[in-house]
A and B are shown apart, each in its own frame.
Chain A
Amino acid sequence: MLRYALKRLISLMISLAVASVVIFAVIEVAPGDPASFMLGVNAQEDTLAALRAELGLDGSKVQRYFNWVGGMLVGDFGTSYTYRTPVSQMIADRLWVSLPLALYALTLSTVIAFPVGIYAAARRGKPGDLTVMGATQLGIAVPNFWFAMMLVLIFAINLRWFNAGGFAGWDNGFWTGIHSLTLPAIALALPQAAILARVMRSSLLDILGEDFMRTARAKGLSRRQALWRHGVRNALIPVLTIIGLQFSFLLAGSIIIEQVFYLPGLGRLVFQAISARDLIVVESVVMLLVFAVITVNFLVDLAYAAVDPRLRSRT
């Protein structure tokens, strides 16, 4: 088990290293000099040089890459070109919106999808299953940001149960914060839940055809007992993969959803940074997103091993 985890960990490190090189290289290709962009065309050469030094833009590419990566390792993401404040501080503030939103949505999606998928599989081909499958088919087709707009129209503008946008902040209490994230989380979660429920169902149906399910029935387990005791855990293996993938969709999706609800999250930050050509912020946010995706997939790999004993004994 430990060996398996260690091996995955090393592969995670390599992925992160390569990803950082890719991101750095892409940003390097960007035309224009941030310093002259910030100071305007009439800036003096020595002021420019001073600013470049301040922003860490002098030195060779290799040197700057290692400065950037080295800084990130100790939590220093550099200084924003436009705001002249530490990027780490800006990201930290926004992360308190985006991360809870993604986790909230992931929880919702899982909590909805599991029972629905199991229900549909247990009633395969019956009206209950067909209804659920029809609904999920529709759920997959709905763009989450459009769904968000409809939620705003119904629950904020007409029913006035929620605010149409903005974030109350965590300072006013946990539940106030959760309340203002609820509509965005639902908008993010439902289309993902539709996918997850379908995966859960088809994965369970695959397992139902396995020989060991017949063995279980031959022992005297009812269809339902066999499904719960032998089916669900085996079906989790492909479902976990999808949950891992979904996290990256949710994170990306939250960037879009933040636009609908005017939430001060990473999405707003990155779009402002793009229009201001504040590339260091873009670079850092992208690196953070990629870091999150890779880490979550690492956790999924560990979860596999918890579910499947065959992985534990293999290296």
Chain B
Amino acid sequence: MSRNLILGACLSSLVLLAALVSFVWTPYDYAALNIPEKLQPPNAEHLFGTDHFGRDMFSMIMVGARTSIAVALVAVGIGMALGVPLGLAAAARKGSWLDEVIMRGNDLVFAFPSLVIAILITAVFGAGAINAIIAIGIFNIPVFARITRGAALSLWEREFILAARVSGKGAARISVEHILPNVANLLIVQGTIQFSLGILAEAGLSYVGLGAQPPTPSWGRMLADAQTMVSFAPHLALIPGLAIIITVLGLNLLGDGLRDWLDPRIRVARA
């Protein structure tokens, strides 16, 4: 196991742990206002200081991890649940109208960056964490469809697939029995990377007000709130930023480490 993998796993589990623990325990109530203690820099009582309402930043970061992870995880789930079957189907029917429709559909979705999708959804239905999930999730579909199709296409050329066809197995069965297990590693690695991209995207959407709404704490919105106070309370901006960086860095290192560990030969498109 590489250093990357260990460091990435440690950082990721640290964040995950914080998110899980926040369900049962936080140092303070994350929503409790305490105006007299507002804008304290990090100190022994408030490890990460307090914000302009005197709320404990440490507790908010812990609960914010929950939001980030939930949004990104569900978005990756949507992307995989829809993208992988589409990719498998497109590869199984290479060159057919089905393949063509799926791939052109992919191209079309690629033309809508997740922010644009979020803008559209918000314009119509209003803002909220669900928007962020849908917007990031939709953008993930073509990512997974494409990578699945690419890997599956080269597998379909392999002779063990021909052998399975000679044994009378149909395309659906071969896809599940032979193709899917052989692309699983690739999907795990890409999933980790999309997870980290999802964290970044969620932060961005929340920052511009298209993501999680108050009172749900979110790292992106904490940054938006901090913006006007950055000159006299820089910790308000620094701490949520570092939380995002650590999470994303951890997941990326984990993804890179997993790729090398699971199979040194596979290549993942990183974009």
B-facing residues in A288-305 (Cβ within 8 Å): 289-290, 293-294, 297
Contacting pair B111 A146 (CB below 8 A): no
* Contact, CB under 8 Å: B245 / A15: no
How far apart are the CA atoms of A86 and B204 in the complex, in Å? 30
Expressed in whole angstroms, the minimum distance between the Cβ of B219 and any Cβ of chain A is 9
> Is A157 among interface residues, defined by CB-CB distance under 8 A?
yes
* Contact of A145 with B223 in the complex, beta carbons under 8 Å: yes
Q: How long is the Cα–Cα vector from A153 to B271 in the complex, in angstroms? A: 29
Near A by CB (< 8 A), chain B positions 191-239 give 196, 200, 203-204, 207-209, 220, 223-224, 226-227, 230-231, 234, 237
Interface of B is mostly: helix
Report if A245-B271 is in contact (Cβ < 8 Å); known contacts: A146-B237, A152-B230, A255-B208: yes
Residues of B within 8 A of A140 (CB): 248, 252
Chain B residues 19 to 45 lying within 8 A of chain A, measured CB to CB, are: none
Q: Are A242 and B204 in contact (CB under 8 A)?
A: no
Chain A: interface residue total (CB-CB under 8 A)? 58
* List of A residues within 8 angstroms of B112 by Cβ: 19, 290, 293
Residues of B in contact, count (CB < 8 Å) = 44
Interface centre among A141, A253, A282, A294 (most CB of B within 10 A): A141
Whether A153 contacts B108 by the Cβ 8 Å rule is no
State in angstroms the CA–CA spacing of A294 and B108 once bound together. Answer: 9
* Assembly CA distance A69 to B40 (angstroms): 54
Nearest opposing residue in chain B for A294, CB measure? B111
A294 to B113, CA, bound (A): 11
B162 within 8 A of A: no
The answer to the question of B54 belonging to the interface, with a C-beta cut-off of 8 Å to chain A, is no
Known: A19-B108, A145-B223, A252-B113. A153 touches B196 (CB 8 A): no
In the complex the two chains form, is B227's CB within 8 Å of A274's CB?
A: no
CB neighbours of B226 from chain A (8 A): 149
Residue A99 at the B interface, CB < 8 A? no
A27 within 8 A of B: yes
A23 in the interface (beta carbon within 8 A): yes
Partner of B116, one of A30, A137, A290: A290
**Interface flag for B115 (CB, 8 Å):** yes
Q: A66 to B114, alpha carbons, bound, how many Å? A: 27
Interface hits, B142-162 → A, CB 8 Å: none
Task: Kindly state whether residue B119 has any CB partner on chain A within 8 Å.
Answer: yes
Q: For residues 59 through 73 of chain A, which have their beta carbon under 8 Å from a beta carbon of chain B?
A: none
Which residues in chain A, 198-233, are within 8 Å of chain B measured between CB atoms?
A: 198-199, 202, 206
A259 touches B208 (CB 8 A): yes
User: Are A150 and B196 in contact, with the CB atoms below 8 A?
Assistant: no
Quick check: B208 and A141 within 8 Å, CB to CB?
no
The reply on A286 being an interface residue by CB < 8 A is yes
- Number of CB contacts from chain A to chain B under 8 A: 137
Contact B123 A30 (CB under 8 A): yes
Instruction: For A18, list chain B residues within 8 Å (CB).
Output: 108
Q: How far is the CB of A204 from chain B (nearest CB, A)?
A: 14
Residues of A within 8 A of B208 (CB): 255-256, 259, 267, 271
Find out whether the CB atom of B119 lies under 8 angstroms from the CB atom of A270.
yes
Residues of B within 8 A of A29 (CB): 124
Contact A149 B252 (CB under 8 A): no
B23 to chain A, nearest CB (A): 25
Q: How far is the CB of A66 from chain B (nearest CB, A)?
A: 20
A138 to B250, alpha carbons, bound, how many Å? 10
Contact of A143 among B111, B123, B203 (CB under 8 A): B203
Further 17 A-B residue pairs, CB within 8 A, beyond A30-B124, A143-B241, A290-B116: A15-B107, A26-B120, A27-B120, A30-B123, A137-B252, A138-B245, A141-B245, A143-B200, A146-B241, A150-B241, A195-B271, A256-B207, A260-B227, A286-B116, A289-B113, A293-B110, A293-B113
B-to-A contact residues, CB < 8 Å: 104, 107-108, 110-116, 119-124, 196, 200, 203-204, 207-209, 220, 223-224, 226-227, 230-231, 234, 237, 240-241, 244-246, 248-249, 252-253, 267, 270-271
Q: Closest 4 interchain pairs by CB? A: A141-B248, A252-B115, A146-B241, A252-B113
A-B contact pairs, 26 of them (CB 8 A): A18-B108, A19-B111, A26-B121, A26-B124, A31-B124, A141-B200, A141-B249, A146-B237, A146-B240, A149-B223, A149-B227, A149-B230, A150-B241, A152-B230, A153-B234, A153-B237, A199-B270, A241-B271, A245-B110, A248-B113, A252-B115, A253-B204, A270-B119, A274-B123, A282-B120, A290-B111
